[in-house]
Amino acid sequence: MKYRLCVLIFLILITSSLFANEALETFKKGNMLYQNGYYSKAASNYEKIINNGYENAELYYNLGNAYFRMNKIPNSIINYERALRLSPDDEDIIVNLNVANLRIVDKIEPVPKFFLVQWYEVIRNLFTSGNWAVIQVVFLWVVFISLGVFVFLESPFIKKIIFGTLVISIFISVMSLIFAIQQSGYENSRNSAIVFEPTVYVKSSPEEDGKDLFILHEGTKVNIVDAVGKWRKIRLANGNIGWVPGEAVELI
């Protein structure tokens, strides 16, 4: 039984390695096709990797670039957004996403946020959830070490320094944990979407006879806040709310 189990584990590892190597080769081929101007074929290679269960920020970023070159703006935006979800501080992704958003019709001005909230979000978005988790663990160890040193040292001056280090480390450790939890929720959330219909009427209720509130165009980002049958309740960055058919939007 143990022999069979070892063989099974070995086969799983070998298979995983082969799939990983195949994905890497497909990625390299996609990059080469993109560099030579074969954007459609490059996109097909990137999508093949994603369909096989692999994803990372660079993969989505390259796919977004390929679609942008093909002038498929909604496709480019949704892939830039997926890349940004995995790497929120990547300047190249942010710049290309902003450029792509200049090509859409709807210019949604977000509701202004209190400056302290803006600062908080800027700091939180500096790292991914995994990076914040590592920072939290590191400073947690600093807390334990500082606490041990504080207990055994007798010098009042050094104790003051260690106490200050202890307080700062506790604060950073707690905030890193909060940031890690919030970033993880953002990275795994599926409540944002991109409009893929050329034009869609936003209704006051989830029915065809609902009153038309306003019109959205392809490429616009929305948040999904509710669902009734085939209808999705959306909220825009400016606070406007309404209902659209589910097939009109694609989740990020």
Check which CATH number belongs to the domain holding 228 and give it.
2.30.30.40
β-sheet bridge partners, residue 234: 224, 242
- Looking at the fold, whether 173 and 197 belong to one and the same domain comes out as no
- What is the number of domains present in the chain? 3
Tell me the percentage of the chain whose pLDDT exceeds 70.
92
Tell which of 137, 165, 188 closes a domain. 188
pTM, full prediction: 0.74
Q: Please report whether residue 109 resides in a domain.
A: no
Residues 128 and 47 in one domain: no
On whether both 19 and 86 belong to a single domain, the answer is yes
Alpha carbon distance 104, 179 (integer Å): 32
| Pair (19, 83) in one structural domain | yes
Q: How far apart are CA 237 and CA 240, in angstroms?
A: 7
The domain containing residue 228 runs over which residues? 192-251
* pLDDT tens track for 31-49: 999 999 999 999 999 999 9
In a domain, 68, yes or no: yes
Q: pLDDT for 116-142, tens place per residue? A: 888 998 898 888 888 999 999 999 999
Average pLDDT over residues 241-249: 96
- Is there a single domain that holds both residue 197 and residue 168? no
Are 195 and 248 within 8 A, CB to CB? yes
Q: Domain for residue 240, yes or no? A: yes
